[in-house]
Structure formats: C-alpha cells, structure tokens
Structure 1
Amino acid sequence: MELEAILAISMFVVAIGALLAGYPVALTLGGVALIFALIGIATGVFPDTFLKAFPSRIEGGAIMQSQTLLAVPLFVIMGVILERSRVAEDLLGIASRLMSRVRGGLGFAVVLVGTLLAASTGIVGATVITMTLIALPSMLRQGYDPRLATGTIAASGTLGQIIPPSIVLILLADAISNAASQAALRTGGGSAVVSVGDLFAGALIPGLILVALYMLWIAALAIFKPETCPPAKVDDDTAPLTFREIALGLGAPLGLIVAVLGSILGGIAPPTEAAAIGAGGAILLAGMRLAREAGSRLMPVMLVGLAGLILIIALRNVLDLRAVSTGHSGADMIGMAITALSAVAFFAALVSGLLVLRKIGQLKPALTSAAHITSMVFLILIGASLFSLVFRGFDGDDLVHNVLHNVPGGKWGALVAAMLVMFVLGFFLDFIEIVFVVVPLVAPPLIVLGFDPVWLGILMAVNLQTSFLTPPFGFALFYLRGAAPPEVSTMQIWQGAVPFIGLQLILLAMVAAMPALATWLPSLAAK
C-alpha cells in the first residue's frame, strides 16, 4: 500500500479515535488534519498548495458566502425562541385534552406534538428533553407502560431529523450539492444542484409516513394490549377548551410551520428568506404567549403584526409587488401600499415581541444559546473543511471511490456498505460530524454509480435518525435518560426504543424500494 493511502486511512482512524475520546470536534478535525498535512509535507507526499488554498476555501462560496448555510442561524433562532417560550407545554396540554377520552390518546398527542416541534425547532436534544420533562410524568401517572412512554417520546423527538425545516437537511443539502458537483467533474456530465428546498420537499412524504407508522403502532397497542396505554383520567371540573386557547396554542404554531414550509415548497421564498420569516414569526408567537401571562398591553400590536405578515404572504401570491417591474395595474399599486403598511405593522410587532421577551428575561438567554449553537456548527464546518481538504490531498477521495466501486454487489452493495458505516458512526458521533466528514467522502462515488442525489440525501437523513434512537449509544436515549425520573430504568428506555427502530427501518426500506417517495415532490416543485 502506498504511503498516501496509509496516511489517509490513519488520519481518518485517528480522528474517529480522538472524537470517541471526547476531544472537541472542531479542534480535533482541524488539528488532526494539520498534523497529518505536516507529516505529508515532511515525507514529500502532500502538496503544500492545499493548505495555501484553505483560506480562500473558507472565504469563498463554499462556506462564508453560501446562501444555504445562511439559513442555519435563522432556523436555530426560530427553534430556540419557541423552546424557551414554553410553546411545547401549550401544544402538549391542548393536544392531550383534545384526545383525552381516546385510549392511547396521550401517546397520539406526544407524536403529534413531536411532529409540530420537529417542524418548528428541528433541534433533537431540545425536543427530547422538553417532551421528557413535560409528557413523561403525565404518561406514567396515567398508567402508561414506561417502555411505551419512553419509546414514544424518544422516537417523536428524533422527528426533527427528517421533518422539514430541519438543520440536518440544510447541512445535508450543502454536502450533497457539493458531492453532486464532484461527481459531475468525475463523469464529465452536467452539475446537479441540490437545493435545501429539494431536500425539504423530498423529506416531507417520508416524514409523514413515519409519523403515521408511529400512530399505527400506538393504535395497535391500544387494541391488542390496552393495559399499556389507557385513556387519560380527566377531572370533571376541568374547564373545556375555548376556541381562543386552541387558536393561539395550537393554530398559531401550525400556521407558522405552514407559512415557512409553504413559502419554500410553493416557490414564494428561498429557504434563507423563509427561515427569516420563521425566526420573526417565532418571536411573535413567543411574545404573544408570554404577553398573555404577563398581561402586557403589547398583545394587540403583535396580533396586528401577525395579521400583517399573513396579508403580505397572501398578496404576494395574487399580485405583482415588485417595485422594479413596470406596467403595474391599479390593484398592484394598492397591494404595494397595503404591503408597505403591513410590513410596518409587522416590524412594530417584532419589536414588541422582543420587548416582551426581554422583560420576561428570555431574550438574552435565547440569543446566547442560538449564538453558541450556530458558532459550534460553523466551527465544526471549518474544521471538517480542512479535514476533507487534507484527506483529498492524500488522494483519499480516490481511495474511497475505489473501495465502494469494488464492494461485492455492485452499486447496491456500495450503498449498503456506506449506509452501514454511517449507521454505526451515528452511535458515537453527532449528525453534524457525520454530515461534514463522512458524507463528502461516500456521497460522490455513490452519485457516480448512478444514485439520485435527492433520494440519497433522504436515505442518509433517515439512516442518521435511526442511529439516534438505537441502544446503547443513541443520542436521543442519552437525552431522555438524563431528564427521565429515576424510577424509569435504562433497560426500559432501551426496550421502548426497539419497536420504533423497527418502524424507522421499515421506512428506510420503503424509501430505498420506492425512490418516488423522496423524488416525486421535488420533481413537481421543479416544474
């Protein structure tokens, strides 16, 4: 074996070992790459031009000027604001009361709320911990089997991996798009651009199928093992839900999700602008929810601003509001004036929401948390970029390409091998590390073999979600164990996760066997 191949393999092994030992991800990736680059330069097998090109790689379009990655901090702000405003508590309380008389109703409520939180926050750890603290004690009090209760919460919390808008899908879109470009260079074909909207559209149907599978499993247990999920006991003196409670607690978050996803999938706004809508809408919802508790007089201002935002989106669909275009009709001019007034009302409401969050003491912690998460993502991205650059300098990409091409079973054998590697690494590494390190290595050869990039990205997302839930190292199980009461054993948590892992593997097999589940919606959006 040549020295370049030995150094490439050694670099990957040392990086994985350092990560498993608990060293910081970004510094590990960058540090290991730099050490091996210096070894390669000293032995004459690594050209130093790769390191000289690194600053321009960071400052160029790959990272700092990427419109795709600009959506990350905005979606993070959206998720953190909604998490800290206790929107999840309202969602779970309302959903539980709506389905209180149904056997297994609390389990259904947890899955539905997990779906809504996945579509509004996209942060797995925050969702699992929040759902554990809020829902698990209630489910145990109502007589639910601890295995079913913990399995439902852990599985519902991981929906943020696959249901858009998801941070995983945003990062995957960037990695898959770069991989498609590399594959095009190898084959001499045209570059296939994979956008965030493509992966969002591709993940929507598989995500909803997975939610349906979860619900069917709970319904089956309610029929065949009714003792595991009894109907909730509701006090007779509990006041019935009012329309206002349902509209603000359930309808408002649902409306925000529809606005964000609808604007992306409908072609109204690119993902970055849609993320800005989501962040602004989250500030409004959080401000309205906290203003109700504090009795703030700013509530009417925020309601008017929310109505203004809805009006802007509606007018955008029926009128030409572009100031640079010519030949506006009278209706267009009136629409532009209404849009301007609505924008002023929306920004006034946004300021009001920020003032309420500041008064309650949640604004600074939320922004600090968002800054920490965003900084972590981009620092890991810079370290992973250096790692992949050095790995490529050792011709590591050719090594991976040759290995996957020589796997028994042809292209399907290569796909299974790559998926198994990602699945196993998902036990130990965070999804960000896998997306930034592993996907750039295995995706280009798989695309060269003829796999559709969007379909491949969705398969990888489902695969990563499954590894999040698999004992003994699934991250979602660690989050749940840390927040669960001591009477729930670790073995019960592991046993509860097993049926939901089976459901996720069924979904993975369905997407693999029927690629149209992942490619049909993106193909419609492209027309």
Structure 2
Amino acid sequence: MEYLSLLMFVVVCLVLLLGYPVALSLAGTALIFAGAGAVFGIFELSYLHALPNRIFGIINNQTLLAVPLFVFMGAMLERSKIAENLLNAMAVLFGRFKGGLGISVTLVGMLLAASTGIVGATVVTMGLLSLPTMLKRGYNQQFSTGIICATGTLGQIIPPSIALVLLGDVLSSSYQKAQLQMGIFSPETVSVGDLFAGALIPGLILVVMYLIYCVVYAAIKPAQVPPLTIDDTNEILQNRSLTKVMFSALIPPMILILAVLGSILLGYATPTEAAGVGAMGALLLAVFQGQLSRTNLKAVMESTVKITSMVFLILIGASLFSLVFRGFGGEDLVQGFFEQMPGGVVGATLIVMLVIFLLGFILDFIEITFVVVPIVAPILLAMGLDPIWLGIMIAINLQTSFLTPPFGFALFYLRGVADKTVKTAAIYRGVIPFILMQLALLIALAYWPSIVTWLPSKIYG
C-alpha cells in the first residue's frame, strides 16, 4: 500500500506535464486515489476529515498574509517604471567601461530582486528593457542573455523573496514536526526573518560572482562587450545631469528596500508588517514617478489577485495531496528509505537536492515548496540539519534548476520576450557559466554552513 503513495506522486507529475492546472491536478489526483483506495479498503477516509482544519489554518496564517502584500509591492514597482529608470542610471554610470552594461544589468537585477521578489517578473522586465539595448550597442548575444537570465533569478534568493516567505512557513511546521519525532517539546520555530537573514550573505556573494564574471569577460573579450559612446550617453540622459538621474532613479527604491528589510532584520516588524510598509511605499513611489494612474492601479490589483489566488489554491490542493499521501503511508516509506540509505544524512541530503533540482524542470517553486518540502524536510531536520541552512540550500538549488537547459523556467521567460534574431542556443550557452557559479556556491555552503547561519545567529541570537 505504501508504494501507491509513490505512484500517486508519479501520476501528479505526469498530469502536470500534460498541462493541467497545478492546484486541480494535485487535488484531483489525491481524490481519485483516495476514492479508489477506499473502495478497495486500503485507505481510511477519516484522513480527509483534517482538510477543513488545514484550510482554516491556511486562511488564519499571519505569515502568508505577506504574500499578497509583497506581490502588490513588486507589481506596483514594475508598473511605475522603476526598473527602466534604474537601468538608464546604471547604464550611464558604468556604460563608459567595457562590460559596463553587464554590470548595470546585474546591479539592477539585484535591486529588482530585492523589490519584487518574483523571478518571472524580473526576467521578463529585464529582457524587455535591457536585451534590445545591449544588442543594439554591439554586445554578444550569449553574454547578454546569460546575464539577464541569471540576474532575473536572483529574486529566488535575495530577500524579500516570495519563495523564502513560503519556505519559511513550510519549514516552520516541518521543524515542529521533526522536534516531536525526536521527543522534543519546544516553542522554538523557524521564522521568515531567519530565512531572510540567512539568504542575505549567499545572495550578495552570488551578485559579487556575477560582477567578477562581467569584469573578467570584458578583459578577455573586450570587442564583445564595448563601452557606450558619448552619443549613447547623451541619448539616455536627455539633457539631464547624471546626479539628478541617479538621485531620482536610485534613492527612492533603495529607501524602500532598506525600510522593508531593515525593519524585519532589526526586529522592528514582522515580515507581514514590513510587507504592508513595502506595499504602501510602492504606492508612494508610483506617485513620485507620476505613474499612479487608474489604469496602472487596476492592472496591479488584478495581477496581485491572480498571483495570490494561484498561490493559495495550490496550497489547498497540496494540503489535500499531502493528507492522502500520508494516508497511504508515503511519509513512513520516505523516512525508511532515507534511514537505510548509505552515507546517512549526507547521502539523504544529496538525494533530496537532486530530486528537487530535477523537479524544478517541470514544477514551479510554489508546487515544490508545498508538495515536496513538507514530505522530506521533517525527516532531514530530524536527522540534525539546520532548518535555515536547509531552506537556503533548497532556494539556491531551485534557482539553479530554473537556469538549467533545456527546461529552465528563466530560459522560457526570456525566449518569450527576446527578438527572433536571438538564437535559443545562445541563451543556453550563455547561462552555463552562471550555473557553474551557483553550483560552486552550493558546494561552499555545504562545506561552510556558517555562511548561512552566522547572520541569523547574530541578529536573533
């Protein structure tokens, strides 16, 4: 009977590959297996009695309230031309150097990641704004597409990432479950603020690695990343001073980012409260930029409702799936598999990371967070892993998966907005150096977990 749980997992993956909606695929497959199991007497329908309590828990979860607020903040910043103004300012500042546009894209991508927290939105925005400019200025296709895809996925790891908010909620319940398995009764939990603090240093390391790559590439192949001409700079400035452009483009979003992240990391506000500050700040920035029109506000609100509805509907479907999975004994099967695996906790962690990496080709981070992580996280945490370290490793792993050809989501996003003259093979080759950098970071975090755990321990003790 336990192996039916694995069959159910395989069936869900196949149904998703056929293109059916994620939430309905999860819930529908679970109900079909539960009904068939009840008919044959191998499934207790009493497991489904816990579903209303789970749904009420989702509705009543204060942490998840941060999701619509952060989504609103990101969507509003996207519509208020913050990215366009930032890119122009950075292009003028660094464009005089070889590879300067690559540096500009990296820095703007980092700021957008800290502003929006949504991978798809950042990749599409950067693809629409910066790719035509880079190609027009004579930049190599491979370099341009690679740097855009890589910086676009920084929203997966740099706070306030939506992925980290969702991971924080799931890991918190998984940590409590692991403690109960070990016979420990403690109120200690994992907060979203812990994950934000843990992700900060790895995220900045990744940005520095991208910047070093831009500099080295410019030194080796200067002809493929030429500097901007005086005419290009004048075209961007449009008779405005560099100081005025930098001040109007850089200072407002930086203040907003510092207000949101600073209030969380310093303990002045919970992630949900800080998300409210961020949403209000994004509205004020739109007013400051003269972009708060009725049309823009309507578009932002519609986008927020759609994304938030998708997230919570998937969460409800995943809750039903996990109940049926547990009813078939799937958790016991996975736990037994990990305990018998050679290499102990190291071998189990490697297998989990490999499975999550491969699932990242066909599932979005939301499905993986709600379906896979609740199954494997309690077992790994009960084996002694640090929950903050595990969360950051999963986030970076998914970020790498989103970049890896031929199924990486970031590649599809950029392919959808790139000009037809941009070859798909160039996009695939362009991301390879960044995949290697992210794998190097994963290895470094595995050897030195303190890179992740040091800052949370200093802030939260």
TM-score band by shorter chain is over 0.9
2:179 and 2:37 mapped to 1: Cα distance? 28
Name the residue aligned to 1:402.
336
**Amino acid corresponding to residue 39 of structure 2 in structure 1:** A
CA offsets 1:255-314 (integer angstroms, 9 cap, x no match): 1001000000010101000000000000110121125xxxxxxxxxxxxxxxxxxxxxxx
User: Out of 29, 48, 53, which is 1:51 matched to?
Assistant: 48
Name the residue aligned to 1:253.
253
Answering whether residue 13 of structure 2 is matched by residue 16 of structure 1, we say yes
Name the residue aligned to 1:320.
none
Name the residue aligned to 1:7.
4
Structure 2 CA distance for partners of 1:188 and 1:248, relative to 1, 3 Å:
same
TM-score under structure 2 length normalisation? 0.97
Answering whether residue 108 of structure 2 is matched by residue 113 of structure 1, we say yes
1:166-181 alignment runs, 5 A limit: 166-181=161-176
Answering whether residue 155 of structure 2 is matched by residue 160 of structure 1, we say yes
- Tell me how far 1:489 sits from its aligned partner: 0.4
User: Out of 116, 120, 130, which is 1:125 matched to?
Assistant: 120
User: Out of 450, 455, 462, which is 2:384 matched to?
Assistant: 450
Name the residue aligned to 2:300.
366
Answering whether residue 153 of structure 2 is matched by residue 217 of structure 1, we say no
**Amino acid corresponding to residue 176 of structure 2 in structure 1:** S
The answer to whether the Cα contact below 8 Å between 2:3 and 2:330 also exists between their aligned partners in 1 is no
The farther-off stretch of 233-242 and 375-384 is: 233-242
1:118 and 1:232 mapped to 2: Cα distance? 26
Q: Which runs of 5+ in 2 are unaligned?
A: none
The answer to whether the Cα contact below 8 Å between 2:92 and 2:242 also exists between their aligned partners in 1 is no
The answer to whether the Cα contact below 8 Å between 2:157 and 2:395 also exists between their aligned partners in 1 is yes
1:10 and 1:502 mapped to 2: Cα distance? 34
Name the residue aligned to 1:206.
202
CA offsets 1:314-348 (integer angstroms, 9 cap, x no match): xxxxxxxxxxxxxxxxxxxxxxxxxxxxxxxxxxx
Structure 2 CA distance for partners of 1:188 and 1:256, relative to 1, 3 Å:
same
1:438-477 alignment runs, 5 A limit: 438-477=372-411
2:230 and 2:397 mapped to 1: Cα distance? 39
2:27 and 2:9 mapped to 1: Cα distance? 12
- Tell me how far 1:170 sits from its aligned partner: 0.4
Secondary structure at the aligned position of 2:230 is classed as coil
- Tell me how far 1:223 sits from its aligned partner: 1.2
Name the residue aligned to 1:194.
190
**Amino acid corresponding to residue 471 of structure 1 in structure 2:** P
1:403 and 1:178 mapped to 2: Cα distance? 22
2:440 and 2:137 mapped to 1: Cα distance? 30
Name the residue aligned to 2:97.
102
Answering whether residue 319 of structure 2 is matched by residue 385 of structure 1, we say yes
The answer to whether the Cα contact below 8 Å between 1:100 and 1:234 also exists between their aligned partners in 2 is no
The answer to whether the Cα contact below 8 Å between 1:151 and 1:500 also exists between their aligned partners in 2 is yes
Answering whether residue 368 of structure 2 is matched by residue 434 of structure 1, we say yes
**Amino acid corresponding to residue 260 of structure 1 in structure 2:** V
Cα RMSD, aligned residues only: 1.2
Q: Larger relative CO (CA 8 A, sep 6+): 1 or 2?
A: 2
The answer to whether the Cα contact below 8 Å between 1:163 and 1:204 also exists between their aligned partners in 2 is yes
- Tell me how far 1:240 sits from its aligned partner: 5.2
Name the residue aligned to 2:293.
357
**Count of residue correspondences:** 456
Q: Percent sequence identity over matched residues? A: 57
- Tell me how far 1:237 sits from its aligned partner: 4.7
- Tell me how far 1:245 sits from its aligned partner: 2.7
- Tell me how far 1:421 sits from its aligned partner: 0.1
Answering whether residue 59 of structure 2 is matched by residue 64 of structure 1, we say yes
Q: Which runs of 5+ in 1 are unaligned?
A: 292-355
The answer to whether the Cα contact below 8 Å between 1:88 and 1:130 also exists between their aligned partners in 2 is yes
- Tell me how far 1:34 sits from its aligned partner: 0.8
Structure 2 CA distance for partners of 1:364 and 1:416, relative to 1, 3 Å:
same
2:241 and 2:273 mapped to 1: Cα distance? 35
2:112 and 2:50 mapped to 1: Cα distance? 41
- Tell me how far 1:67 sits from its aligned partner: 1.2
1:303-318 alignment runs, 5 A limit: none
Name the residue aligned to 2:288.
288
Structure 2 CA distance for partners of 1:139 and 1:224, relative to 1, 3 Å:
same
Name the residue aligned to 1:414.
348
**Amino acid corresponding to residue 403 of structure 1 in structure 2:** F
